Amino acid sequence: MKITSAEFLISSTDWQKCPPPRKPEFAFIGRSNVGKSSLINLLMERRNLAKTSSTPGKTQTINHFEVNNAWYLVDLPGYGYASVSRSARFEWGKMIEQYLKNRENLYCTFVLLDSRLKPQAIDFDFIQWMGTNQLPMAIALTKCDKLKQQELAKSRKAIESKLLETWDELPPIFVTSAEKKTGRNPLLEFISEALTPED
């Protein structure tokens, strides 16, 4: 897929205030500081489309971007640690849950995992919640340039083994690095295939 245009559309604090569900959309979510904004900017080949920050919890709204005038990319607030109040984190959780459950044009949610870390309980709690609610998802391993190939293979195997404890079939898994521009084409190809009507 060639990205010809990517424009910020709207930030929402309520799924019902999101753009009309007339176009397919793909959401990105992960623990705070997992490298979500960097991956989005890599995919769109735009340096500052999604705002990056060294401070966890920068994204606090549902952010819609219109891509190629054909589909929406959605940047969701991170879950887990962020330097905000407990009540604000609760509101994020409720906002994210309602969006994921009710957004009828949501084709897939990419759950981002930091490849450098062993499987984190909060990530797998979220993944399990997605599975329980039968919500389509894929996994993107981030910051893979920080690991040697052997370390990356070990990290991926640990994640897959953890998933197979409760999943019969693994969701799609993408290896990415915003630094090395790894994984962009496979991820965009996955989106492109999802957008292509079946015969």
pLDDT digits (tens, 9 = 90+) for 38-83: 999 999 988 777 665 444 445 578 999 999 999 999 999 877 644 4
**Would you say 24 and 68 are in contact if contact means Cβ atoms under 8 Å apart?**
no
SS3 106: strand
Q: What is the pTM of this model?
A: 0.88
C-alpha separations of 170 from 136, 139, 145, 163, 173 in Å:
12, 10, 23, 7, 8
Helical segments of 106-148, H only: 121-132
Supply the pLDDT for residue 52. Answer: 52
Nearest to 159 by CA among 122, 115, 128: 115
**What is the reported pLDDT for 93?**
75
Contacts of 124 (CB under 8 A, 6+ apart): 162, 163
CATH class entry, domain 6-195? alpha beta
CA-to-CA separations, 193 to 73, 108, 190, 198, in angstroms, rounded: 15, 12, 5, 9
Domain ranges of the chain: 6-195
pLDDT digit string (tens) for the chain, length 199 residues? 899 999 999 999 889 999 999 999 999 999 878 889 899 999 998 877 766 544 444 557 899 999 999 999 999 987 764 444 454 444 457 888 899 999 999 999 999 999 998 878 888 888 988 998 999 999 999 999 999 999 999 999 999 999 999 999 999 999 999 999 999 999 999 999 999 876 5
Q: Which residues pair with 114 in a beta bridge?
A: 142
